[in-house]
Structure 1
Amino acid sequence: MINALLVDDEPLARDALADLLSSDPEISIIGQASNAVEALQMINSLHPDVIFLDIQMPRVSGLELVSMLNMDDAPYVVFVTAYDEYAIRAFEDNAFDYLLKPVEPPRLQKTLARLKKNYHHPPSLTPVASADLQLIPCYLQNRIRLIKIDDVEFAFSDLSGVHVMSEEGTSHTQLTLKTLESKTPLLHCHRQYLININAIREIQLLENGLAEIITQHGHKVPVSRRYLKMLKDRFGLQ
């Protein structure tokens, strides 16, 4: 059984695609999302085998959502779009496949046939993964906040997950430190911390080759020996 997640901000479009997919006994629809941020949370919790993803959505597009995925366990991505130019870009970005709206049953069957044939091979999304993130989706109780990269001072991980510190305080994100490091300007300064270089106010050198960063808003961020030299080199320090 291939588990599928449908992502589209248009309910009628989701329902139409769900009706087409429901006729295939090998496809199980395990969830539907109306926006990219909601979809990211469902991808991390449900681990679908394939996502049928609308490209043009408010705030965070389908292409931007794919750039947020952890490529180590990313699902297959089938882009769904009403615009040919987006389909061409999706193809160039090495998505598994793309469908034009309204989705025609014969074209969908070709996609599903390819999907079943390639199901046991890991998807290749490397070109999409290289895109830089402009926004980090974070969760605050019953709200979702999209934080601009420039507003982030640092990010860190603990037993409860990954957190982002901005001027507005600490927020939880579903993204991993590995994803944040590879797709944002944030740099490792410690195994559990990423720092925004532009947020550094000063670096305090401590004993035993350690250091501590003081951010523009007075937060203290540890710097391990492993990353101190790299940090010094970044500023041309000896």
Structure 2
Amino acid sequence: MSKIKTLVVEDEYLAQQLLVRWLSEIQEIELLGCESDVTGAVTAIEKIQPDLIFLDINLSGDNAFQIIHQTPKHLRPDIVFVTAYTEYAVKAFRVNAVDYLKKPFDRSHLLEAVERVIERRSRKQPDSKQEVHEHITIKDGTNMTFVGMDEILWVESAGDYLVIHTAEQHYVHRSSMKKFLQSLSQSFARIHRSTIVNLERIKHIQPRGHGDADVVMCNNTELRLSRRYREAIKAFKVS
């Protein structure tokens, strides 16, 4: 894998220099430069087309999500948010952020974020055998129903079958959890040995204590988040 072309977007000088120093020590990273405001960041992304940006959310009073909205989709890099704020975590995940580092963080947290970027990029390689579909075909006798992947809220296992839940209804589909997850985009993640969720349809995470939590979906359905799978939605910072 080639080096990851990286841009730092941070308006606090000390935080910016710390990121630069730590990222410069990582062999897989090719640091292309730094920006400190929305306009400069959008211009730099269009010019140098980085693979990855480390992005502060509050940029001199401007919201960094403007950068994402102003960048053409085909040029949008992977994003690791770096911020002192926790309230943007769900929104960050909805724009498919790789990680959400809350200040202050240490070098080990940064390395973990880079490792997740490398893992994500490896799954995007052209020689990957994983086939991602835009819809799933549900067979019922001689009838077939096409369900768009973006319609799916969550999926639960039921023996040799899966129950696929949308906002309107549910469908029974014969497949294993592992095989089905391989056909899904990165907008889906396993939160329990018997549950897959659409990350873009999560409303919020409700801590239950002792490391347990519930994932609350957009229709207010509560699903148990197993501690074993907390890493899959780490950007929500469930403690």
TM-score (norm 1): 0.48
- Larger CA Rg, structure 1 vs 2: 1
